[in-house]
Each structure stands twice: as C-alpha cells, then as structure tokens.
Amino acid sequence: MCAFCHGLGLRDGRDNRAEPCNCVLREVFRVCYAQFRRCVTQDKSVSQSRLELVTGSHTFYTWGRKDEEYIADFTLVTRRTLSAFEHRIFNYHFLLGADWRLCCGKLNMERGIFYHHVYEIEQKLGRIFRELQPYGLYPIEGYFEESTREVVRSSRRTFSIRAIRPPLVLPRKNAA
C-alpha cells in the first residue's frame, strides 16, 4: 500500500486539487509497458490489419496495424518526453532488459540513485501515456478498440437511405 495515498490513488496537488498519486502513474506506465512487450514479442504473423475510419475534413477508411502502431507510438513518446540521460536509462533497463547491476556499471551510478531515476521515468511516462492528446496510450482498450466502435457509430450516421422519386412525366401535347 502506498504511504502517500493509502490505496486511494489520489493526493493533494496545487490549489488543493486532487491529482493522481505517483503509485498510480507508475502502474499506468507498467500496464502500457506490458502491452508494449506483448506486441514486440508476439509472432509477426499474428498481427492483424484492421479497417479504420479516419475523420476530418474528408471522411475515409484506411487499413492499419494496431500492434505495430502501438510499438511506434510507445517508443516515439518516450524519446520525445525523456531527457538524453533518462532515455539512456530507459533504453538499457526497459528496452534492452538489463538488470540494475549492468545498468549501474554502464552508467556509473549507485543502486539507490538508479532506482530513483527509474521511478521518476515511470511516473513521467505514466502521466504522459494517460494524458496524451488526442489519443492516449492508456487505457489500452481505448487504443486498440476505439476505431471499430467509431466505424459502427459513424456508418449509421454517414450512410442514410433516401427515397428516390420517379422522374416527373409531363403530359405531351398533341400535335395537330
């Protein structure tokens, strides 16, 4: 149980507003990281192409591979969010899977300082993954299933049945 929030998941922030506790942000990161690992380690023949609705000034459908898109989004967000030093720690520990002994030897730091940086990275990325706009990486279900729900909703609104009236037939005048 967390010493700050006592299992509630919220803590007091600035201006007495409730903010998510750091334990919640770290858990958000861990859920996203587990999904990233699942996408990376699965057999590439398992990945499926999906038809997605793209809305904007012109509405159209496109094909996409959600697993590969998630991998790309995860790595790009981490690269853009973290500093160079934090990204080195992230690269060694999370992407390459090195334990704390190898990381501390490579980065020339003590174990406590290393884990302090790891927790800060998890908190920072957990907040970014949750609050990313317009489409966050968390919750996972929203990332992978949102497009199929949008297709069903939009297809009902976009395609409507209109009655076609027969052409108006004008009576002919007899030529005499």
Output the pLDDT for position 163. Answer: 55
Calculated CA dihedral for residues 47, 49, 53, 57, nearest 10 degrees: 100
Query: DSSP labels for 57-97?
Result: SS-EEEEE-HHHHHHHHHHHHHHHHS-HHHHHHHIIIIIS-
* pTM attached to this predicted model: 0.73
Q: What is the pLDDT of residues 76-92, one digit of tens each?
A: 999 999 999 999 999 99
Task: Give the DSSP H or E segment for 151.
Answer: helix 140-158
Annotate 47-77 with b (16+ C-beta within 10 A) or e (fewer).
eeebebbeeeeeeeeeeeebbeebbebbeeb
DSSP code at position 17: -
In the numeric block, which tokens belong to residue 26?
Answer: 């770290």
What tens digit of pLDDT does each residue of 35-60 get? 999 999 988 777 777 777 777 777 78
List the one residue out of 161, 155, 144, 174 whose CA is nearest residue 38.
144
Q: What is the pLDDT along the chain (176 residues), one digit of tens a residue?
A: 777 777 778 777 777 777 888 889 999 999 999 999 999 998 877 777 777 777 777 778 878 788 888 999 999 999 999 999 999 999 999 999 999 999 999 999 999 999 999 999 999 999 999 888 877 888 888 777 754 444 444 444 444 555 556 666 666 776 65
21 neighbors 119 (Cβ within 8 angstroms):
no
* SS3 annotation, 95-144: HCCCCHHHHHHHHCCCHHHHHHHHHHHHHHHHHHHHHCCCCCCCCHHHHH
Tell how far CA 34 is from the center of its chain: 13
List residues bridging with 51 in a β-sheet: 63
Backbone angle region of 114, left / alpha / beta, with phi > 0 → left and psi within -120 to 50 → alpha: alpha
Share of the chain above pLDDT 90, in %: 44
Distance CA 104, CA 114 (A): 7
